[in-house]
């Protein structure tokens, strides 16, 4: 792992560890109240889309508050699942709805001020496609090979880190809401960080998924 990606992965894990006691305590209250993890996942997406709507209507500070609330629900769903019964359905929903939330924020800034923000938002959205694709492609092949991640043992699948983790994404989204006039600069910087993440994941995938002995034998036999 490169020094920069090691640092950000450590930052993301340390942030998670810092807030986990409070998240777990609140999750216990929700479990006793009968609130399910999937309901929290859907609620987090709904609040996230409300944040995007607020930004699109040029109320970015309200959007910042709603983004924080949305990510609180995103943390709570996993905590509730761990205290009850984690399911494959819940893991699928968690990652799928996350990928429906993240692009909504750059899109909202483009709607709020197309002349200033549209190009930067398009570049950032393209970068999101790259990070999301590399993330999921690695997870699929890792599952096929039975690989697990010691760094993220509570995830439903192999969680491959990078320079742009949840902590960094949240920080940039909040910064964009606080300084909306600087969105093009912040979006460009974050897109560059995403590009580093994509390149790193491609390199990791190339190294981690080198052909096994069985695959080499199959290839030799198929060419005979």
Q: What are φ and ψ of residue 85, in 5° steps?
A: -135, 100
Q: Report the pLDDT value the prediction gives residue 81, as an integer from 0 to 100.
A: 93
Average pLDDT, integer, range 2-19: 60
Q: Report the pLDDT value the prediction gives residue 146, as an integer from 0 to 100.
A: 75
Per cent of the chain over pLDDT 70 is 81
- Tell me which of 63-72, 107-116, 203-212 is least confident: 203-212
- Tell me which of 7-16, 53-62, 63-72 is least confident: 7-16
Length of the chain equals: 224
Average pLDDT, integer, range 17-38: 92
Q: Report the pLDDT value the prediction gives residue 152, as an integer from 0 to 100.
A: 44
Rounded Cα distance between 23 and 95, Å, is 19
Q: What is the pTM of this model?
A: 0.82
Q: Report the pLDDT value the prediction gives residue 153, as an integer from 0 to 100.
A: 46
Token duo for residue 76: 């709570």
What are the pLDDT digits (tens) for 118-154?
Answer: 999 999 999 999 999 988 888 888 878 777 654 444 4
Sign of CA dihedral 17, 22, 25, 31: negative
Kindly indicate the confidence band of residue 52, based on its pLDDT and cuts at 50, 70 and 90: very high
Q: Where are the domains positioned within the chain?
A: 3-209
Cα angle 141, 144, 146 (rounded to 5 degrees) comes to: 110
Q: Report the pLDDT value the prediction gives residue 137, as an integer from 0 to 100.
A: 87
Q: Report the pLDDT value the prediction gives residue 139, as an integer from 0 to 100.
A: 82
**39: enclosing H helix or E strand:** helix 37-56
- Tell me which of 29-38, 189-198, 212-221 is least confident: 212-221
Rounded Cα distance between 212 and 222, Å, is 15
Fold for the domain defined by 3-209: 1.20.120
């Amino acid at each position: 792992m490169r020094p920069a990606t090691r640092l950000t992965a450590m930052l993301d894990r340390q942030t998670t560890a810092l807030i986990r006691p409070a998240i777990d305590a609140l999750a216990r209250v929700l479990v006793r109240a009968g609130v399910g993890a999937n309901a929290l996942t859907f609620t987090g997406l709904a609040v996230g889309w409300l944040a995007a709507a607020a930004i699109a209507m040029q109320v970015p500070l309200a959007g910042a508050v709603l983004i924080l609330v949305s990510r609180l629900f995103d943390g709570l769903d996993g905590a509730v699942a761990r205290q009850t019964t984690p399911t494959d359905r819940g893991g699928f929903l968690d990652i799928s709805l996350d990928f429906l939330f993240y692009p909504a924020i750059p899109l909202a800034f483009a709607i709020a001020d197309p002349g200033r923000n549209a190009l930067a938002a398009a570049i950032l959205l393209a970068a999101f496609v790259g990070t999301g694709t590399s993330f999921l492609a690695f997870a699929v092949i890792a599952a096929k090979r039975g690989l697990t991640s010691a760094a993220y043992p509570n995830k439903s699948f192999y969680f491959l880190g990078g320079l742009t983790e949840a902590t960094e994404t949240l920080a940039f989204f909040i910064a964009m809401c606080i300084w909306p006039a600087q969105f093009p600069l912040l979006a460009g910087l974050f897109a560059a960080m995403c590009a580093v993440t994509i390149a790193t994941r491609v390199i990791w995938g190339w190294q981690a998924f080198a052909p096994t002995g069985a695959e080499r034998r199959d290839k030799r036999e198929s060419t005979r």
